[in-house]
Structure 1
Amino acid sequence: MSEANASATRITPGNALRPEDIAASHAVPPPEAAEYALWLGDDSLILAQRLGWWISRAPELEEDVALANIALDLIGHARSFLTYAGHASGRTEDDLAYFRREPEFRSAHLFEQPNGDFARTIARQFVVSHYQWELYSRLQHSTDATLAGIAAKAVKEVDYHRDHSLQWVLRLAQGTEESRRRMTAGLKLTWPYVEELFADEPLIDALGGAAVRPSSLREPFDAAVAAVLAEADLEVPAVPGATGGGRRGVHSEHLGYILAELQVLAREHPGASW
């Protein structure tokens, strides 16, 4: 996280916005839009923390760099969404990232899931990037100019994330017997958490045209994912869905450990800058 630029910025629908633009605009979202921004910001923040673990651990040096770059993109998305959300309560992006407790986070359970082996991480990223691409493609037309501007920037970056993950799905599925086994296992472990991404929470009704209805994304998501899996000669896993609840602050057992690592420095040295 970084200090915000204090200069004035005009936000118009369709602008591709940086975190500094959001901070400078001082645009105050209504409570419902602020809560929605938390959903999306927390998703990206938590996944960035998960992906950062792979730096120096990925199967090849190029992949260290690729996953680090994806994590940095996600941190940028998180900064923008959290800055906008914070304007509703006078809090900064740092306040929201480092000083909220676990029940105050709104990330879906999928983003919190352990890395596991590399194939499991790729399976999670494959689902996330296809979901986010569908989401941001629509959200850039939001009636909320700030949300639209964030999405207009994010969708371009997520398009790369999507291509990166699907190439790895194909590579692992069509590689050795062991890589295919691991890719198949990774998809099965990931799939129970897909359903929560497309659940229509009551907040969506209150937001109207400012938000994207999650259930409307399921059909194009399923079609895109099925096409890749068919090319890889893999099947969509037939597994029961997990309970979910992240949008309401009910999280998996994994989030507390993620936050302990993410927040420890800021909590040990409150008010410090680096």
Structure 2
Amino acid sequence: MTQPQFEFLTRLGDNTLVLGHRVSEWCGHAPVLEEDIALANTALDLIGQTQLWLGLAGEVEGKGRDADTLAFHRDVWDFRSLLLVEQPNGDFGQTMMRQFLFDAWHSNYLAQLMDSSDSRIAAIAEKSTKEVTYHLERSSDTVIGLGDGTEESHVRMQKALDRLWPFVGEMFVSDEVDAAMVAEGIAPDPASLRGEFDTLVNNVLTAATLTRPQDDFAHKGGKTGGRHTEHLGHMLTQMQWLQRAYPDASW
């Protein structure tokens, strides 16, 4: 059970790590001060969740690797993050659309994990869901405000939705790791969460006067590590540079 559970935990931790770093790239560059602070706080929440998920992953693995080692000393093909979260920020609208699509999945997934048979996972999910509830509220409101805003903001949000939608389906693809987690009562089958996700997303997109793409083609490979986009490798060269240049350095 150790290996599937390790894989499962690194997926959760890598999702929050990669998205947290992506969002942090806005620090000092957001369109207004309030958004700069909000994005920085979201990034901090996600990095905090990463510490918990990857810390537990290292404990389960039992090879002496802690959260920092897993974050900064794995190569791109060892990451298990969804393709959605590694997509570049683009403009502010694309960043918030990416955040919304992830939040809509993340909030429901964490709610299910609160009933996990593993008390450690349930505890992390309970702590994280308090933060993610706010993330979802904020990203939903922003998508609605921009989608139903000016002509330009509407066009940009529709463009962001069209670009990111092909990465949504991967969140609901089940594999042998998911099956092992379901069998142990640790986590839900990702495929079972699609209906609630669709309802939430459809409601928000309707309020935002945005058109959901009809094509449900899904890019895959991120959560298994089999195929990442070029964007993740470029991001890791920045995120991991200090730890790779000065191994085991301390303050």
Q: How does 1:8-157 map to 2 (within 5 A)?
A: 30-87=2-59, 88=61, 89-157=63-131
Could you tell me how far apart the structure 1 residues matched to 2:156 and 2:215 are?
17
Deviations 1:169-226 (A, max 9, x none): 1111121100110011111111000000000111111122112211111100100111
Residue 235 of structure 2 is matched in structure 1 by 258
Could you tell me which amino acid in structure 2 is paired with residue 98 of structure 1? Answer: F
Deviation at 1:140, TM superposition (A): 0.8
Could you tell me how far apart the structure 1 residues matched to 2:9 and 2:186 are?
11
Could you tell me which amino acid in structure 1 is paired with residue 188 of structure 2? Answer: V
Residue 7 of structure 1 is matched in structure 2 by none
Number of aligned positions between the proteins: 246
Tell whether the 8 Å contact from 1:188 to 1:239 is kept in structure 2 after alignment.
no
The CA RMSD measured in Å over matched residues stands at 1.1
Tell whether the 8 Å contact from 2:114 to 2:126 is kept in structure 1 after alignment.
yes
More displaced stretch, 222-231 vs 239-248: 239-248
Tell whether the 8 Å contact from 2:148 to 2:207 is kept in structure 1 after alignment.
no
State the TM-score, normalizing by the size of structure 2.
0.95
More displaced stretch, 203-212 vs 48-57: 203-212
Q: Structure 2 stretches of 5 or more lacking a match?
A: none
Could you tell me how far apart the structure 2 residues matched to 1:273 and 1:132 are?
34
State the TM-score, normalizing by the size of structure 1.
0.87
Deviations 1:103-160 (A, max 9, x none): 1100010010011111111110010111100000000110111111110011110000
Could you tell me how far apart the structure 1 residues matched to 2:198 and 2:15 are?
20
Deviations 1:33-84 (A, max 9, x none): 1110000000000001100111111111000000000000000111101001
Runs of 4+ in structure 1 deviating by more than 4 angstroms, as ranges, are none
Could you tell me how far apart the structure 1 residues matched to 2:66 and 2:163 are?
35
SS of equivalent to 1:210? coil
SS of equivalent to 2:240? helix
Residue 22 of structure 1 is matched in structure 2 by none
Say yes or no: does 1:269 pair with 2:246.
yes
Could you tell me which amino acid in structure 1 is paired with residue 87 of structure 2? Answer: Q
